[in-house]
């Protein structure tokens, strides 16, 4: 019979069951079966795989820390082979495989004791007396140097009661306030910070508070007891003074908290005033200077300024930014433009190395509508992030999507929870949308020759002037034809000739189709900005070649099966896309019809009609308002359930059983509108 090294309770061994997770074990066994699930072990990195990290727990025992167990992206880990790490053994399988879990504690001093897990039982580390364990030097506020409370010394001779928390005298001279932005130069120092708590998450070890001041944000770990909420009275939104020791944790700055005090009175007012002034100073760009003298953009200077201010404000206030965009070439490039501007600002704002993956998300959408399905998904994610990790509600940036009335229900759901939203699109926003979101950046005229990318790149240039030069070629990439000379010249000045521009457009269009629900952040950055080594030209040219081969083959099939008709003197090319396209292979129906229309377009009125199982897509010269077309078709087919989706450049939906009637009514309506 011995005593627990943490609490002194009599146990068979050296640690009681309730404090087993407070101890870091050194494994001296030679078989996985000798490991004890639930315990935390010191190991060393053996190597990486696509699915996780292999960690040597002992000389002859290796386990897998699966990427799903990490609290960050696998790519953001800075571990090198041989680095000492701490992991939790989750399970030892019958075949000897060892499943490992993440440990927020990555140094011995963050645990409350150390033991050796040997084949004949646990023992104290070599050099330790067989009677007590040094569990950390108490510091200000009664905490150990690792962030824990002072604990008892235990002996092996008789039961010893826990030692009361040590009282530490306050320093004669109070600590002066320092800013979070200066912490990198103060590692090892005790500091005082004042700011707003913008996030709280409970780990299996400490409670992690995310603190923000006028300069940056930082994570502050406070330890009460393994898995127990420290400072339960302090929550998101509180303005506090915090004292602790500055450390590096996985390469990121972190503060080991010794004391947190909620501010009141003059102290509270001073911090709130300082934070408000910082937000105001940082958020609004100094002036408006569009990338080029493009009339459609020049008419929206105030809207560009408002959108840039809203995005910058979210960064300053340490709120996540969720970029929603259509899964098209224009949508991906437009979304990437905003992402390119925001990422450096987030890196500057947050001391955590992987903050850019937590505070900036780009989520593609299948269509041009931000519907209830997408909004419900977003609300579920943001509420989970709020409840589990204490994150603030995000700003939703809708790019190349969400400008029509069909999205209003989704916006109202976001509004219930107070989540801000703004829209950047090449289609004039419906009045209901303008009322449902905070900022709208859309053209004032329906026939404006502007793309979502042209608008978003101009917004992004005002979000972050430092990346302005990196965005110069993006507007030209987004035009399949008829790019304004201003953007062609801008791209050329940036080093992108016509071939380079078209290769990137085609490459992004191909990659947008595959895994269309994923952001493909790194791949898109390689294609557009050449971030990957050797990626800029070779990758775009290679993927562009695949694009042309696949598209040309599908265009040839469509040509062979399209019908040439006439409706009141209007030339019509009708394609049954349900029967004569490979609907689940590249290209998408929309991209196929766009390219077929460009290649087959004739002089005078010309219409390409694509009829799917329950959708009708139209391309026409001159442009046809799909909503007007939908009204005519609906009037002629009362039982077909016809409705226009996505505005004047959208498509019609109808009941499958009325497909033939809708086709005939559409041909008649086209003749009426253009004949």
Query: What is the CATH number for 117?
Result: 2.40.50.140
Same-domain check for residues 480 and 525: yes
- Residue 367: strand, helix, or coil: coil
Residue 533: pLDDT band with limits 50, 70, 90: low
The secondary structure of 545-570 as a DSSP string is HHHHHHHHHHHHHHHHHPEEEEETTE
DSSP H/E element including 508 = helix 498-513
Q: How far apart are CA 342 and CA 356, in angstroms?
A: 9
> pLDDT tens for residues 619-667?
999 989 999 999 999 999 988 999 999 877 899 999 999 999 999 999 9
Q: According to the model, what pLDDT value does residue 535 have?
A: 53
For residue 39, pLDDT over 60 is answered with yes
Same-domain check for residues 573 and 641: yes
For residue 142, pLDDT over 70 is answered with no
Q: How far apart are CA 81 and CA 258, in angstroms?
A: 33
Q: According to the model, what pLDDT value does residue 129 have?
A: 52
Q: What is the mean pLDDT of residues 351-366?
A: 85
Q: According to the model, what pLDDT value does residue 233 have?
A: 93
Task: Tell me if 169 is assigned to some domain.
Answer: no
Tokens matching residue 211: 């603190």
* Structural domain for 476, as ranges: 289-543
User: What percent of the chain has pLDDT above 70?
Assistant: 91
CATH number, domain with residue 314: 3.90.1640.30
Q: What is the mean pLDDT of residues 191-195?
A: 94
Residue 55: pLDDT band with limits 50, 70, 90: very high
For residue 165, pLDDT over 60 is answered with no
Peptide bond preceding 622 in cis form (omega within 30 of 0)? yes
Same-domain check for residues 235 and 296: no
For residue 159, pLDDT over 50 is answered with no
Domain boundary (511, 543, 575) is at 543
Q: CA dihedral in degrees (455, 457, 462, 463; nearest 10)?
A: 110
Q: How far apart are CA 248 and CA 352, in angstroms?
A: 10
Same-domain check for residues 370 and 322: yes
Number of structural domains in the chain: 4
Q: According to the model, what pLDDT value does residue 417 have?
A: 94
Q: What is the mean pLDDT of residues 476-482?
A: 95
Domain boundary (84, 116, 142) is at 142
Tokens matching residue 584: 């689940």
Q: What is the mean pLDDT of residues 419-429?
A: 95
Phi-psi bin for 480: left (phi > 0), alpha (psi -120 to 50), beta? alpha
What is the DSSP-derived secondary structure letter of residue 143?
B
Same-domain check for residues 231 and 299: no
Q: According to the model, what pLDDT value does residue 657 have?
A: 94
Using CB atoms within 10 Å of the CB of residue 175, give its burial: 0 to 12 exposed, 13 to 18 middle, 19+ buried.
Answer: middle
Same-domain check for residues 587 and 535: no
Tell me which residue has tokens 């406070």. Answer: 222
DSSP H/E element including 481 = none
Q: How far apart are CA 299 and CA 159, in angstroms?
A: 81
Q: Provide the H-helix boundaries in 562-656.
A: 589-600, 626-636
Same-domain check for residues 420 and 299: yes
Q: What is the mean pLDDT of residues 223-239?
A: 89
Q: What totals of helices (H) and strands (E) does the chain contain, helices first?
A: 17, 26
* Residues 442/403, Cβ–Cβ less than 8 Å: yes
At residue 127, φ and ψ (nearest 5 deg) are 95, -15
Task: Tell me if 556 is assigned to some domain.
Answer: no
Task: Tell me if 153 is assigned to some domain.
Answer: no
Same-domain check for residues 371 and 513: yes
For residue 554, pLDDT over 60 is answered with yes
Same-domain check for residues 570 and 522: no
> pLDDT tens for residues 85-129?
999 999 998 878 899 998 888 888 888 889 999 988 888 887 665
Task: Tell me if 369 is assigned to some domain.
Answer: yes
User: What percent of the chain has pLDDT above 90?
Assistant: 60
Among 71, 182, 161, 526, CA closest to 340: 526
Same-domain check for residues 472 and 620: no
CATH number, domain with residue 647: 3.10.310
Q: What is the mean pLDDT of residues 279-299?
A: 87
Higher pLDDT, 496 or 538: 496
* Residues 244/255, Cβ–Cβ less than 8 Å: yes
pTM for the model stands at 0.66
For residue 211, pLDDT over 70 is answered with yes
Residue 144: pLDDT band with limits 50, 70, 90: very low
Q: What is the mean pLDDT of residues 411-429?
A: 95
Distance of CA 279 to CAs 66, 158, 273, 374, Å? 39, 60, 10, 30
Task: Tell me if 174 is assigned to some domain.
Answer: no
Domain boundary (543, 578, 611) is at 543
* Residues 234/262, Cβ–Cβ less than 8 Å: yes
> pLDDT tens for residues 258-271?
999 999 999 899 99
Q: How far apart are CA 409 and CA 303, in angstroms?
A: 23
Identify which of 180-189, 275-284, 434-443 has the greatest average pLDDT: 434-443
Q: According to the model, what pLDDT value does residue 140 have?
A: 33
Task: Tell me if 100 is assigned to some domain.
Answer: yes
Distance of CA 101 to CAs 53, 91, 324, 503, Å? 11, 9, 32, 44
* Residues 399/424, Cβ–Cβ less than 8 Å: yes
Q: What is the mean pLDDT of residues 460-475?
A: 95
Strand partners, 137: none
Residue 1: pLDDT band with limits 50, 70, 90: low
Q: According to the model, what pLDDT value does residue 528 have?
A: 94
Q: According to the model, what pLDDT value does residue 537 have?
A: 56
Q: According to the model, what pLDDT value does residue 156 have?
A: 32
For residue 167, pLDDT over 50 is answered with no
Task: Tell me if 537 is assigned to some domain.
Answer: yes
At residue 658, φ and ψ (nearest 5 deg) are -105, 20
Residue 81: pLDDT band with limits 50, 70, 90: confident
Same-domain check for residues 125 and 245: no
DSSP H/E element including 241 = strand 239-249
Same-domain check for residues 123 and 252: no
Phi-psi bin for 94: left (phi > 0), alpha (psi -120 to 50), beta? alpha
For residue 17, pLDDT over 60 is answered with yes
Q: How far apart are CA 277 and CA 264, in angstroms?
A: 19
Task: Tell me if 161 is assigned to some domain.
Answer: no
Average pLDDT, the chain: 87
């Amino acid at each position: 019979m011995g005593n627990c090294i943490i609490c002194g309770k009599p146990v068979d061994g050296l640690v009681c069951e309730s404090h087993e997770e407070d101890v870091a074990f050194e494994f001296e066994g030679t078989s996985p079966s000798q490991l004890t699930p639930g315990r935390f072990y010191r190991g060393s990195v053996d190597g990486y795989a696509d699915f996780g990290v292999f960690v040597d727990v002992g000389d002859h025992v290796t386990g897998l820390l699966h990427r799903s167990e990490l609290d960050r992206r696998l790519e953001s880990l800075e571990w090198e082979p041989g680095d000492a790490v701490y992991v939790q053994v989750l399970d030892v399988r019958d075949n000897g495989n060892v499943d490992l879990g993440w440990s927020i504690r990555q140094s011995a001093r963050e645990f409350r004791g150390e033991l050796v897990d040997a084949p004949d039982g646990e023992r104290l580390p070599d050099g330790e007396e067989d009677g007590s364990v040094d569990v950390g030097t108490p510091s200000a506020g009664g905490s150990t140097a690792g962030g824990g409370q002072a604990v008892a010394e235990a002996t092996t001779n008789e039961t010893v009661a826990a030692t009361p928390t040590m009282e530490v005298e306050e320093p004669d001279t109070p600590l002066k306030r320092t800013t979070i932005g200066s912490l990198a130069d103060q590692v090892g120092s005790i500091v005082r910070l004042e700011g707003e708590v913008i996030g709280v998450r409970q780990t299996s070890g400490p409670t992690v508070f995310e603190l923000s001041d006028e300069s940056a944000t930082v994570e502050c770990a406070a330890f009460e007891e393994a898995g127990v909420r420290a400072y339960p009275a302090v929550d998101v939104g509180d303005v506090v003074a915090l004292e602790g020791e500055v450390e590096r944790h996985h390469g990121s700055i972190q503060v080991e908290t010794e004391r947190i005090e909620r501010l009141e009175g003059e102290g509270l007012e001073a911090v709130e005033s300082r934070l408000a002034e910082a937000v105001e100073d940082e958020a609004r760009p100094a002036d408006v200077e569009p990338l080029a003298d493009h009339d459609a953009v020049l008419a929206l200077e105030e809207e560009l300024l408002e959108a840039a201010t809203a995005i910058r404000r979210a960064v300053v206030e340490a709120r996540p930014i969720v970029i929603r965009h259509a899964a098209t070439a224009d949508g991906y490039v437009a979304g990437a433009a905003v992402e390119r501007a925001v990422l450096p600002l987030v890196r500057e704002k947050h001391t955590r190395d992987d903050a850019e993956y937590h505070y900036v998300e780009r989520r593609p959408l299948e269509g041009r509508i931000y519907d209830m399905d997408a909004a419900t998904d977003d609300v579920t994610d943001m509420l989970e992030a709020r409840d589990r990790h204490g994150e603030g509600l995000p700003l939703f940036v809708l790019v190349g999507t969400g400008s029509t009335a069909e999205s209003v229900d989704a916006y109202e759901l976001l509004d219930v929870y107070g989540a801000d939203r703004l829209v950047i699109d090449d289609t004039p926003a419906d009045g209901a949308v303008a009322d449902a979101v905070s900022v709208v950046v859309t053209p004032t005229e329906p026939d404006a020759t502007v793309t979502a990318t042209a608008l978003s790149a101009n917004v992004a240039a005002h979000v972050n002037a430092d990346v302005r030069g990196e965005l110069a070629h993006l507007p030209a990439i987004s035009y399949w034809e008829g790019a304004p000379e201003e953007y062609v010249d801008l791209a050329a000045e940036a080093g992108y000739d016509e071939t380079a521009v078209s290769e990137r457009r085609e490459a992004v269009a191909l990659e947008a189709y595959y895994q269309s629900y994923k952001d493909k952040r790194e791949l898109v950055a390689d294609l557009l900005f050449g971030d990957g080594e050797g990626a800029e030209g070779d990758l775009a040219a290679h993927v562009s070649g695949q694009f042309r081969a696949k598209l040309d083959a599908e265009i040839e099939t469509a040509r062979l099966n399209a019908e040439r008709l006439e409706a009141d003197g209007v030339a019509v090319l009708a394609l049954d896309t349900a029967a004569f396209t490979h609907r689940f292979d590249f290209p998408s129906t929309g991209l196929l019809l766009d390219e077929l229309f460009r290649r087959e377009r004739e002089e005078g009125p010309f219409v390409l009609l694509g009829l799917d199982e329950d959708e009708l897509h139209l391309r026409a010269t001159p442009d046809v308002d799909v909503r007007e077309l939908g009204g005519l078709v609906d009037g002629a087919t009362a039982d077909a359930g016809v409705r226009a989706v996505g505005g004047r450049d959208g498509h019609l939906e109808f009941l499958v059983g009325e497909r033939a009637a809708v086709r005939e009514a559409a041909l008649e309506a086209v003749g009426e509108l253009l004949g």
